[in-house]
Amino acid sequence: MARSPSLRAMRSAADQQGDRPADYVVHGAGGIGCVVAGRLAGIGKAVTIIARGSHLEAMKANGLTLKGMTVARPDLVVLGHPDEALIGPDTVVILAMKTNDTAAALDDAGERYRHLPMMCFQNGVGNEEITSARGLNTYGTVVMVGGRILEPGVVVHTAGSTLMIGPWPRGMDELTERVVADLVAARMRASAHREVAVAKWGKLFRNLNNAYLALADLAVQQSIRYEEHRFFLADVQEEALDVLEAAGIELDLGERRTPREQIERLRGPGEWLQVEIPEDPDQLVRPSTWQDLHFARGQVEVDWFNGEIVRLAERMGRDAPLNRVVRDRCVDAAERRLPPGSETAASLRALVR
């Protein structure tokens, strides 16, 4: 990938891009947004990234540095607002912010994105619902990519490169195939999915683990290696699956195992010594929810994961106590700026009533 000049940020957006409109605007510069933007820029696409805060200022000053599975200093246009971007009729917008921020970001963009395709490279199913409710041309994306901001301007790509894309809630079109082709050229494991809503419910099912990993201060490798954590995750997922099935919601995990089989696998006894825990802390796979607590950002996304299960259960006159407890405790930890590690499996189970 091309290296970005350190003085690039001193130039205007027009200077950075010339007269070439952006092929992609990546709105949201967290771990996933930066990895995707960097990969696309690496194959010569004109990529504009919309960022904020200290991360924005660092990238303006010194560009973006990618580490881990993607090592690059990509040539990107870095801006603070969509109004500054050079947008053309073929520009594709990739939303990569947390669900909590999606509505505000779209409000901020105003009419700027009105006639552009909006691809939700985000977890949960709420983003597509927010975007499509505004009459925008909405696409869902299942994101199986791990990344986090190490420090402002520096992002580590920790895991995965799988992306499944399709028009929301189902279907197929030429734009999907074009974007998939670009991502494959950028060495992402991208594919088109005709039932993307079903696939995104499957990803939401996986993301039910995020709140516990953040509360218990666990990397994914640690949560899988040790029995206590696997059993807790299995119970959370089983409770959710009962609710989803009762609501008639289909989910596709993209695996050979069914959801029930995945749950039973987690209940395998003992310590799984085959799961290696890297000595390098940068190689530990931690969900973005853990990062939110670690960096004391004041909010987490879990109401769009476990909270979806709780609300579905309530609409049917049921309860989902484990999902409710992990949601409530994680939201409380974020609001109180508590670091990861404030709870254990035992403490959370004790709160279930």
Q: Which of 345, 311, 260 is nearest to 129 (CA)?
A: 311
In a domain, 1, yes or no: no
94-to-29, 137, 308 alpha-carbon distances in Å: 11, 12, 23
Q: State residue 207's pLDDT score.
A: 94
Based on the domain organization, do 181 and 227 belong to the same domain?
no
In a domain, 216, yes or no: yes
Q: Which of 100, 12, 7, 72 is nearest to 48 (CA)?
A: 12
324 conformational bin, left if phi > 0, alpha if psi -120 to 50, beta if neither: alpha
168's CB contacts (< 8 A; 6+ apart) are 120, 128, 131, 132, 138, 139, 140, 196, 197
Q: Rounded to whole angstroms, how far apart are CA atoms 23 and 47?
A: 6
Q: State residue 7's pLDDT score.
A: 33
Based on the domain organization, do 178 and 65 belong to the same domain?
yes
Based on the domain organization, do 75 and 224 belong to the same domain?
no
Q: Rounded to whole angstroms, how far apart are CA atoms 250 and 259?
A: 11
Q: State residue 279's pLDDT score.
A: 87
- Residue 269, domain CATH: 1.10.1040.10
| Domain, as residue range, for 284 | 208-351
Based on the domain organization, do 246 and 214 belong to the same domain?
yes
At residue 51, what are phi and psi to the nearest 5 degrees?
-130, -175
Q: How many domains does the chain have?
A: 2
pTM above 0.85, yes or no: yes
pLDDT tens profile 292-344: 999 999 999 999 999 999 999 999 999 999 999 999 999 999 999 999 999 99
Based on the domain organization, do 198 and 227 belong to the same domain?
no
In a domain, 230, yes or no: yes
117-to-46, 288, 343 alpha-carbon distances in Å: 16, 25, 41
Based on the domain organization, do 161 and 233 belong to the same domain?
no
In a domain, 253, yes or no: yes
Helix axes 227-247, 321-335, angle to 10 degrees: 110
In a domain, 330, yes or no: yes
In a domain, 3, yes or no: no
Strand-pair category, 87-95 with 189-192: unpaired
Q: What number of residues does the chain have?
A: 353
Q: DSSP character for 187?
A: T
In a domain, 77, yes or no: yes
Based on the domain organization, do 217 and 196 belong to the same domain?
no
Q: Rounded to whole angstroms, how far apart are CA atoms 307 and 285?
A: 23
Based on the domain organization, do 17 and 36 belong to the same domain?
yes
Kindly state the tokens that stand for 158.
């920790």
- Regions of the chain where pLDDT drops below 50: 1-12
| Final residue in a domain of this structure, among 157, 183, 202 | 202
Based on the domain organization, do 132 and 149 belong to the same domain?
yes
| Final residue in a domain of this structure, among 174, 202, 230 | 202
| Final residue in a domain of this structure, among 172, 202, 232 | 202
* CA 43 to chain CA centroid, nearest Å: 23
- Residue 76, domain CATH: 3.40.50.720
Based on the domain organization, do 122 and 19 belong to the same domain?
yes
Q: State residue 9's pLDDT score.
A: 35
Based on the domain organization, do 190 and 71 belong to the same domain?
yes
